[in-house]
């Protein structure tokens, strides 16, 4: 078994996760089985308790693990199936070490960062190696080289490489080569210094992936090679992508990063066939048709808060050979300006997941606008709850209908706490989480889109449709088209007499890939295009 460790230098947000995922794509397409994992140096046990302002999206896995959004890239770029073993935080490491200490597993010893913490980190690499049976394990270390909290992870991978032996481990360092406008040139000093920092810890990177805005000319490559002690062909240019993140694997392939890694790891495998990937890029760059989709949320200014939603919309476009312009709509803007002014002209409206009261009324207005004007609507989790509240208020005339999350005293709690949540007091990892089966009604739009009547989709919520109102809703043309197998939980709703009004209690965005768009997103984009152009695709 072979191991690749991906570290980052100079600044955060360099796209280490994308680089790791892209290497995974290339190796997988060379016939290797890959498994990817992420180590996060913060002390939260998982990112589930962090605000999107701090962390961006929380990505949910089948087994209910709430993880870092880079795991979303891993799943979208490869076929690797992830579990809670694939994301390790310092919080988990210390929790395990301290539990062991209390159980007396280190009896008589002083418990220390080296070896107890580093052993715990190494154990997780071995554990993934055993359970995944992959040919190559790619481990991304979060944070930036030089951060105090990242040191135990770097020490652990240094020890790990020593134990695994030469030819079995490759270190990839992703770094930043800034363009200094006043000088009109790219500068390599920060890269030299961050590699020096790594070498101080005892890690000598084999590949240096240089994130840059301009091409990395030969002289600069030679300079980095010389000062960072790697052959010049191991200095890899990773320029800002022009169109899409899905170009990154092709960029790394052009730089022969995968060839180099296979040579270093003595892997004798054929070159990757990336034809299907190139076809995705073609559809992204030069699509046959175009449409504009509004995403109505409250973290619209943040790049990462709705990451998987934006990606799944793009995939839905690829599936229809349709370029999608995503218009990010702040729901508070709708509250101020009115839905008509903000949403008119959009092909479709999507309301994603969310928590807390801010911006809720704007989202309700967006759902009303979509329903009344027959604009395609896709609701995800909170987006389904919003559609329910809107229908209750304006079609069933249940004034002040609400979710008890936002108004505990509402006279019409059409969305209420799940039974299983009523006794829950702790916040970490206690929502209804992970993949659950859902049965779709025969003849429903959802059933038709999926082409299947039982689906497994990922959840992350505490509130649900209140069954006391189900009959009244259904009589008025609101179809509960997806139910949990016991029939008790409403998982998908749709409207009769509407070109496309579908919403799910689950998060379909977590199961979409560029070349396998999720059926709900594919159907949504097709409907959006149709409503703008007044003819089917
Ligand atoms: N806040 C809602 C709930 O807890 C919706 C959650 C979500 O959109 N992920 O049920």
pLDDT digits (tens, 9 = 90+) for 302-340: 888 899 999 999 999 999 999 999 999 999 999 999 999
Q: Phi-psi bin for 104: left (phi > 0), alpha (psi -120 to 50), beta?
A: left
Q: What is the mean pLDDT of residues 345-358?
A: 94
Pocket of ligand 1 (CB under 6 A): 353-355, 381-382, 405, 460-463
Stretch among 30-44, 189-203, 384-398, 523-537 having the lowest mean pLDDT? 523-537
Instruction: Give the distance (Å) from ligand 1 centre to CA of residue 506.
Output: 9
Ligand 1 atom showing the smallest separation from residue 354 Cα:
8
Q: Return d(Cα 58, Cα 15) in angstroms, integer.
A: 17
Q: Is the peptide bond before 130 cis (omega within 30 degrees of 0)?
A: no
Q: Return d(Cα 364, Cα 378) in angstroms, integer.
A: 13
Ligand 1 atom showing the smallest separation from residue 355 Cα:
1
Instruction: Give the distance (Å) from ligand 1 centre to CA of residue 215.
Output: 44
For residue 253, pLDDT over 90 is answered with yes
Ligand 1 atom showing the smallest separation from residue 381 Cα:
8
Ligand 1 atom showing the smallest separation from residue 463 Cα:
10
- Please give the positions annotated as active site: 381, 507, 509
Going by pLDDT thresholds of 50, 70 and 90, the confidence category of residue 40 is: very high
If you take atom 3 of ligand 1, which residue's CA is the nearest one? 461
Q: What is the mean pLDDT of residues 228-244?
A: 93
Q: What is the mean pLDDT of residues 390-412?
A: 96
Q: Which pairs count as long-range contacts for 415-421, CB under 8 Å and 24+ apart, including other chains?
A: 415/385, 415/388, 415/389, 415/463, 415/464, 415/465, 415/466, 416/463, 416/464, 416/466, 417/462, 417/463, 417/464, 418/461, 418/462, 418/463, 418/464, 418/489, 421/462, 421/463
**DSSP-assigned states of every residue in 207-268:** EEEEEESS---HHHHHHHHHHHTS-GGGEEEEEPPSS-GGGHHHHHHHTTHHHHHHHHTT--
Between these two residues, 348 and 532, which has the higher pLDDT value?
Answer: 348
Q: Tell me the pLDDT tens digit for each residue of 467-506.
A: 999 999 999 999 999 999 999 999 999 999 999 999 999 9
Q: Which of 421, 461, 464 to mutate to test the pocket of ligand 1 (most atoms within 8 A of CB)?
A: 461
Q: Which of 58, 405, 491 to mutate to test the pocket of ligand 1 (most atoms within 8 A of CB)?
A: 405
Instruction: Give the distance (Å) from ligand 1 centre to CA of residue 442.
Output: 27
pLDDT score at 398: 96
| Short-list 197, 122, 196, CA closest to 152 | 122
Q: Tell me the pLDDT tens digit for each residue of 419-468.
A: 888 888 888 888 999 999 999 999 999 999 999 999 999 999 999 999 99
Ligand 1 atom showing the smallest separation from residue 382 Cα:
8
Instruction: Give the distance (Å) from ligand 1 centre to CA of residue 379.
Output: 12
**DSSP-assigned states of every residue in 114-146:** IIIIHHHHHHHHHHHHHHH--SEEEEEEPS-TT
Going by pLDDT thresholds of 50, 70 and 90, the confidence category of residue 231 is: very high
pLDDT score at 173: 98
**Is 292 in a helix, a strand, or coil?**
strand
pLDDT score at 55: 80
If you take atom 8 of ligand 1, which residue's CA is the nearest one? 353
If you take atom 7 of ligand 1, which residue's CA is the nearest one? 353
Q: What is the mean pLDDT of residues 67-83?
A: 94
For residue 536, pLDDT over 80 is answered with no
Q: Which of 353, 419, 424 to mutate to test the pocket of ligand 1 (most atoms within 8 A of CB)?
A: 353
Instruction: Give the distance (Å) from ligand 1 centre to CA of residue 460.
Output: 7
**Is 443 in a helix, a strand, or coil?**
coil
Q: Other C-beta atoms within 10 Å of 326: how many?
A: 16
Direct distance between the N- and C-terminal alpha carbons of the chain, in angstroms, rounded to an integer: 47
Q: What is the mean pLDDT of the chain?
A: 94
Q: Which of 48, 421, 463, 503 to mutate to test the pocket of ligand 1 (most atoms within 8 A of CB)?
A: 463
Q: At what angle do helices 307-319 and 519-533 cross, to 10 degrees?
A: 70
Ligand 1 atom showing the smallest separation from residue 507 Cα:
9
If you take atom 6 of ligand 1, which residue's CA is the nearest one? 461
For residue 49, pLDDT over 90 is answered with no
pLDDT score at 58: 94
Q: Return d(Cα 345, Cα 148) in angstroms, integer.
A: 50
Between these two residues, 50 and 216, which has the higher pLDDT value?
Answer: 216
Going by pLDDT thresholds of 50, 70 and 90, the confidence category of residue 56 is: confident
DSSP percent split of the chain into helix, strand, coil, nearest 5: 40, 25, 35
Instruction: Give the distance (Å) from ligand 1 centre to CA of residue 71.
Output: 21
Going by pLDDT thresholds of 50, 70 and 90, the confidence category of residue 31 is: very high
User: pTM, whole model, 2 decimals?
Assistant: 0.94
Q: Return d(Cα 143, Cα 120) in angstroms, integer.
A: 19
Q: What is the mean pLDDT of residues 109-125?
A: 96
Q: Which pairs count as long-range contacts for 62-67, CB under 8 Å and 24+ apart, including other chains?
A: 62/434, 62/435, 62/456, 62/458, 63/434, 63/435, 64/429, 64/433, 64/434, 64/435, 65/433, 65/434, 66/429, 66/433, 66/460, 67/38
Instruction: Give the distance (Å) from ligand 1 centre to CA of residue 382.
Output: 5
pLDDT over 90 percentage in the chain: 89
pLDDT score at 444: 96
Cα angle, residue 499 at apex, residues 498 and 505 outer, rounded to 5°:
75
């Amino acid at each position: 078994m072979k191991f690749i460790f991906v570290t980052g230098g100079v600044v955060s947000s360099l796209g280490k996760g994308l680089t790791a995922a892209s290497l995974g794509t290339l190796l997988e397409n060379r016939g290797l089985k890959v498994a990817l994992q992420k180590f996060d140096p913060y002390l939260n046990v998982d990112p589930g308790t962090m605000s999107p302002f701090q962390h961006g999206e929380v990505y949910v896995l089948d087994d209910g693990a709430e993880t870092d959004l880079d795991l979303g890239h891993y799943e979208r770029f490869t076929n690797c199936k992830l579990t809670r073993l694939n994301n390790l935080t310092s919080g988990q490491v210390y929790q395990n070490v301290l539990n062991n200490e209390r159980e007396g597993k280190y009896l008589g010893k002083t418990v220390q960062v080296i070896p107890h913490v580093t052993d715990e980190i190494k154990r997780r690499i071995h554990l993934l190696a055993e359970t995944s049976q992959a040919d190559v394990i790619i481990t991304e270390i979060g944070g930036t080289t030089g951060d105090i909290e990242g040191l135990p992870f770097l020490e652990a991978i240094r020890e790990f490489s020593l134990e695994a032996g030469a030819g079995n481990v490759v270190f990839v360092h992703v770094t930043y080569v800034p363009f200094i406008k006043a000088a009109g040139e790219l500068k390599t000093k920060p890269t030299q210094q961050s590699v020096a920092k790594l070498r101080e810890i005892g890690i000598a990177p084999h590949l240096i992936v240089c994130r840059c805005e301009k091409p990395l000319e030969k002289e600069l490559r030679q300079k980095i090679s010389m000062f960072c002690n790697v052959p010049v062909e191991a200095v890899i240019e990773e320029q800002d992508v022009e169109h899409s993140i899905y170009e990154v694997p092709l960029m790394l392939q052009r730089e022969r990063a995968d060839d180099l890694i296979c040579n270093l790891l003595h892997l004798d495998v054929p070159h990757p066939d990336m034809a299907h990937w190139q076809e995705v890029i073609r559809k992204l760059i030069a699509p046959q048709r175009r449409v504009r989709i509004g995403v109505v949320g409250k973290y619209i200014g943040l790049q990462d808060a709705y990451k998987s939603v934006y990606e799944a919309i793009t995939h839905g476009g690829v599936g229809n050979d349709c370029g999608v312009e995503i218009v990010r709509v702040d729901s508070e803007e709708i509250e101020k300006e009115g839905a008509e002014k903000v949403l008119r002209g959009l092909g479709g409206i999507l309301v994603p997941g969310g928590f807390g009261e801010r911006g809720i009324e704007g989202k309700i207005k967006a759902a009303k606008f979509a329903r009344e004007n027959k604009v395609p609507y896709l609701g995800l989790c909170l987006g389904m709850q919003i559609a329910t509240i809107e229908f209750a208020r304006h079609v069933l005339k249940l004034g002040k209908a609400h979710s008890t999350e936002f108004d505990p005293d509402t006279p019409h709690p059409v969305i209420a706490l799940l039974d299983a949540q009523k006794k829950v007091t702790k916040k970490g990892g206690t929502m209804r989480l992970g993949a659950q089966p859902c049965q779709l009604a025969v003849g429903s739009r959802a059933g038709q889109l999926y082409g299947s009547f039982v689906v497994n989709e990922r959840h992350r919520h505490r509130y649900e449709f209140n069954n006391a109102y189900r009959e009244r809703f259904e009589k008025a043309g609101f179809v509960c088209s997806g139910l949990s197998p016991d029939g008790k939980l409403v998982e998908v709703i749709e409207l009769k007499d509407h070109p496309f009004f579908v919403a799910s209690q689950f998060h379909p965005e977590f199961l979409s890939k560029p070349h396998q768009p999720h059926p709900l997103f594919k159907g949504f984009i097709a409907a959006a295009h149709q409503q703008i152009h007044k003819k089917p695709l």
